[in-house]
Structures are given as C-alpha cells and as structure tokens.
C-alpha cells in the first residue's frame, strides 16, 4: 500500500514536471520570435533552462533512490507483521524460530512439522506465520492449535507431486475419485482432531495448482489430486479471515466432521481450466456453517456431499444441519451451490440464504443418479439472487458418473421436500430446470416469491419433468403445469394436471 502510493505520487510529479517544461520552452520560443533577442541572450536562456533541467533530473533521481532505499529497508523488515498478531492461545510460536525462510524457494516442511510437534507436546498452541512466502510440502495439524497467517503471509504448496503424501482412498468413495487406489493427501491436513483454528489477517494459502491442472489435463498423474485443506474425522474446526487460492483439487474439504465454521474467507481459482477446484465441499458433515465469504472458482463454489455409490451407502454418514449464508459465488463451469452428485450417505436439513451468484453457468443445483442411493431432504433455499446466470435452479437425476461398475443400479436416491423462496434475478436464460425421472421423481418442491428477469426467450424457461409440489402466490416466470397453484392465503387455486409432463430443452 505504502509503496504503491509512493510510486503513483512519483509518477504524477514526473508527469506534471515534463508538462511544465514543455510549456516553458514553448513560451521561450515565442519570445525569441517576437523580440528577436541577440544570439548570446538566446544561448544564455537555454543555459539556465539546461541547468534547471539537470536540477530537476537530479531531484527525481534522488527521490527515486530514496524510495529504493526504503524498499531495501522494507525488505529487511519483511517478516515483521504490519498488524500485530493477537495472542489467541496461551502458548505462541513463530515459524521462524524453527528455521523457516520465507523467500518462496526454501522448503519449510521440517519447520512446520517441528513447530506443530512442539504445539502437540505442549497440549496446544498458536503458530504464527509471519509475512513472507513459505514454501512447504503437505503437513499435518494437531488438536487445540491455531494456525495464524499474518497480513501478507503466504503458505505456498510445493507443486512437485513427489513431495505429496499418498493416503488410502476415502472410505465413502472407495476410489481416489479420479483414479483407483491411493490419493494424494491435502497440503494442510488433519485427522481425528479437536479444536483447530486456521485464521489470520487475510494471509493466503496458495496451492500453486497450475502445475497440477496441466499434468491432470495431460494425463501425467497416477493418483487423484489432493485438496488444499482437508480435515477428517474431527470436531470444532474454524477456518476464518483468510484467502485460499489455486488449489490443485477441491479447496476446503471437511470430511466426516462435526461443528465446523467457515467464515469470512476468500476462495479463488481461475474460472476455467482449473479442473475440480470446488471452493468448499462439506462431506458427511454435521453442524456446519459457511458464511460471509466470497468464492470464485473453476468448479462448484460449494458442493455438499456424502460419499459415492456403494461406498457412500456402506459408509452411511449423512451431511446434515448445514447453514450457508451471505455468500457470493461465481462458477462458469458448474454452480454456485450444489448438493451432490456424491450424496449416497444422505443430505438433509440444509439452509442456503442470502446467496448471490453472478456471471455464472448455474446458481444452485441438486445432482444425483441411479446407483447413488441415499436422499436429499428438507432443503431450504431463500433469498437467492441470480445475476446473469445461464440456469438458475437445477435438479438433475441422471448425473451418471460412477466409481466403478460395482454400483447397484437399483439404489435410487430420494429427493423430497425442497423449498425455494425469495428468488430474485436478472439476465437469466432458464430460471428453473427440474428433471426428475420415472425412477427418481422429485417430490414436494415449493416455490414462493420467485421473480427472475429472463435474458433469452419466453419458451422453456420453467422446465419440469416428474416433479410434484406447489407454487404459493404469484411467481415469474409462471410455473410448469406439474405444480399445484395456491394463492397467498394458502388456498388451492389450480390442481397440477400431471406430474410427469415433460418440458425439457437441454439446449435452452
């Protein structure tokens, strides 16, 4: 900040001086013309001008040198945080005390590990990561710890997979999601923990995903890519006030956890060519809140999951009691907030409110397929704003992507009791697309207070098939024939003509 303002001042000074100089020489020229001064006088004037120019030049160089000196001094002080780091645990450590060097090149894995080992030995503590670029391979957290990322501190994930730990597949996925067998663990990892906080003054965890995405595209990887932060089988987890960017794979993955708060985070990856870089994937989690956050990524912003096909059914751990509020999401590849497609352990009691999805492909989407089993029930979406999205609300029941051929095709998921209210928007091509099927009908959906401006055409803008439910009060666009119509007082106005009339147009 300081430097930037210095630089701009300097720049504008320079500009105004050059301008002044131009004016002066022009008026001088004018005078010589008018009064026809002698040649010596002419030269004399120019000598003064030249001296002036030199003085100005030296002054400029002096100012420039001083800022350069400042910069060097600043560099020496680089590791002193501009904002004092609060003491959040009785025992506090600084990463540098373990020999870490924040130059972006030195590998600091041993320093992270030694510091966390000390915290574990002391029964808990806070690890401060000062300003700098702290390159590291994956490391594990411990219980009762706070990882604090100072302003301008960056934890950089090493992008050579030989440094990444391989782990057994997640039990509810059976496979490594992309490849059979083991998978890479996450950059920052934790298992069987209690009371872990990752926070800071908007410091950054950067996964340097570019190398991973490229290798994935070129099929050079043998194992599923690792997430940026993955916490498994743990309770009382808080991730707040930081930025997470360029994850190799999903960004934040709480797996089979209880009591998780993710608040005031910024999650960024490129919008395209950053495959599977979901923002947050609550997976078989209970009591989880995501709020006050900005997510702009190359896949789903948030995707609530609970395991994959026969493995997820066998593991049987649902995602439930999840609240998502005051989130802005952007996804040009998938959706702002998704449920599924891996939902085989069940997903219930989810509330999504005060969500804004902008310049995206889809706003909210429930996705599943035959073979998943499980259920998606008791889901509330309210006060959702769609700003320039292609498809607003989507339910899709043929998301046929399976771990292997061992899935049970007769394991049919149940989709029931989904409610949408306070849906606003503009520039939306297809506001609603609900495709149930004969084997996976969508039951008991409710629409209330939906008013969405469309961008394209008037046909096929409220698409339905195999859906049962109701509309309460007036909505725009007007609903498909499949839904019962009630007035604002809750009196039935018009009975649905059919629940399976198909108005499907995938191209719209």
Ligand X SMILES: *[C@@H]1O[C@H](CO)[C@@H](O)[C@H](O)[C@H]1NC(C)=O
The binding site for ligand X (CB under 6 A) comprises: 138-140, 165, 167, 185, 189, 191, 201-202, 241, 243, 264, 266, 292-294, 321, 323, 326, 348-349, 351, 354, 356, 377-378, 380, 383, 385, 417, 419, 444, 446
Nearer to ligand X among residue 289 and residue 402 (C-beta) = 289
**Helix, strand, or coil (residue 293):** strand
Nearer to ligand X among residue 131 and residue 402 (C-beta) = 131
Nearer to ligand X among residue 167 and residue 434 (C-beta) = 167
What is the number of other CB atoms lying within 10 angstroms of the CB of residue 159? 18
Nearer to ligand X among residue 142 and residue 402 (C-beta) = 142
CB of 143 to ligand X, least distance (A): 13
CB of 409 to ligand X, least distance (A): 23
Q: Which of 189, 206, 293, 216 is nearest to 247 (CA)?
A: 206
Q: Which of 440, 295, 292, 301 is nearest to 364 (CA)?
A: 301
Contact between 394 and 415 under an 8 Å Cβ cutoff? The reply is: no
Residues identified as active-site: 299
d(CA 136, CA 155): 7
CB of 290 to ligand X, least distance (A): 11
CB of 251 to ligand X, least distance (A): 14
CB of 357 to ligand X, least distance (A): 9
Long-range Cβ pairs for the range 98-107 (8 Å, 24+): 100/134, 101/132, 102/78, 102/130, 102/131, 102/132, 102/133, 102/134, 102/153, 103/132, 103/133, 104/132, 104/133, 104/135, 104/156, 105/135, 106/135, 107/135, 107/136, 107/137, 107/158, 107/163
CB of 33 to ligand X, least distance (A): 56
Nearer to ligand X among residue 310 and residue 421 (C-beta) = 421
Q: Omega of the bond prior to 341 within 30 degrees of 0, cis?
A: yes
By beta carbon distance, the residue nearest ligand X is 202
In the numeric block, the tokens 């606003």 are attached to 424
In the DSSP assignment, the letter for residue 280 is B
Nearer to ligand X among residue 324 and residue 402 (C-beta) = 324
Nearer to ligand X among residue 59 and residue 493 (C-beta) = 493
Contact between 179 and 221 under an 8 Å Cβ cutoff? The reply is: yes
For residue 60, what are the CA distances in angstroms to 54, 67, 243, 442?
10, 11, 38, 71
Contact between 171 and 308 under an 8 Å Cβ cutoff? The reply is: no
Tokens representing residue 95 in the block: 């990463």
Q: Which parts of 333-491 are beta strand (E)?
A: 335-340, 347-367, 375-396, 414-428, 430-435, 442-454, 462-465, 467-472, 484-486
CB of 383 to ligand X, least distance (A): 4
């Amino acid at each position: 900040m300081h430097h930037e303002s210095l630089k701009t001042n300097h720049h504008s000074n320079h500009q105004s001086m050059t301008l002044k100089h131009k004016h002066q020489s022009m008026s001088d020229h004018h005078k010589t013309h008018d009064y026809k001064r002698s040649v010596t006088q002419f030269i004399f004037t120019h000598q003064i001008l030249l001296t002036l120019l030199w003085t100005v030049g030296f002054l400029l160089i002096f100012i420039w040198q001083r800022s350069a000196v400042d910069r060097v001094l600043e560099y020496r002080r680089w590791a002193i945080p501009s904002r004092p780091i609060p003491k959040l645990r009785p025992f506090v450590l600084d990463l540098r005390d373990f020999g870490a060097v924040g130059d972006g090149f030195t590998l600091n894995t041993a320093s992270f590990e030694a510091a966390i080992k000390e915290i574990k030995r002391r029964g808990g503590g806070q690890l401060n990561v000062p300003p700098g670029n702290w390159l590291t391979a994956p490391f594990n957290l411990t219980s009762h710890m706070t990882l604090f990322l100072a302003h301008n501190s960056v934890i950089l994930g090493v992008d050579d997979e030989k440094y990444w730990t391989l782990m057994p597949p997640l039990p509810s996925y059976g496979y490594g999601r992309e490849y059979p067998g083991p998978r890479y663990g996450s950059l920052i990892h934790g298992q069987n923990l209690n009371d872990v906080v990752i926070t800071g003054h908007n410091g950054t965890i950067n996964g340097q995903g570019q190398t991973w995405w490229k290798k994935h595209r070129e099929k050079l990887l043998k194992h599923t890519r690792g997430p940026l932060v993955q916490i498994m089988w743990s309770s009382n987890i808080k991730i707040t006030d930081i930025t997470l960017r360029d994850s190799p794979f999903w960004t934040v993955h709480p797996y089979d956890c209880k009591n998780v708060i993710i608040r005031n985070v910024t999650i960024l990856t490129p919008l395209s060519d950053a495959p599977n870089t979901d923002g947050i994937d609550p997976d078989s989690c209970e009591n989880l809140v995501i709020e006050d956050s900005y997510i702009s990524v190359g896949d789903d912003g948030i995707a609530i999951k609970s395991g994959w096909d026969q493995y997820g059914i066998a593991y049987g751990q649902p995602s439930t009691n999840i609240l998502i509020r005051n989130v802005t999401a952007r996804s040009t590849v998938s959706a702002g907030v998704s449920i599924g497609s891996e939902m085989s352990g069940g997903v219930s009691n989810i509330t999504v409110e005060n969500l804004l999805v902008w310049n995206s492909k889809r706003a909210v989407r429930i996705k599943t397929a035959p073979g998943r089993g499980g259920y998606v029930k008791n889901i509330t979406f309210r006060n959702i704003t769609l700003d320039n999205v292609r498809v607003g609300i989507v339910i899709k029941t043929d998301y046929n992507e399976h771990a292997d051929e061992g899935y049970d095709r007769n394991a049919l998921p149940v989709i029931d009791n989904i409610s949408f209210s306070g849906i606003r928007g503009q520039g939306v091509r297809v506001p609603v697309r609900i495709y149930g099927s004969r084997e996976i009908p969508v039951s008991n959906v409710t629409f209330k207070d939906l008013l969405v401006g469309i961008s394209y055409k008037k046909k096929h803008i409220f698409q339905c098939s195999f859906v049962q439910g109701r509309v309460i009060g007036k909505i725009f666009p007007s609903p498909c024939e499949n839904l019962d119509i009630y007035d604002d007082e809750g009196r039935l106005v018009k009975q649905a003509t059919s629940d399976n009339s198909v108005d499907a147009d995938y191209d719209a």
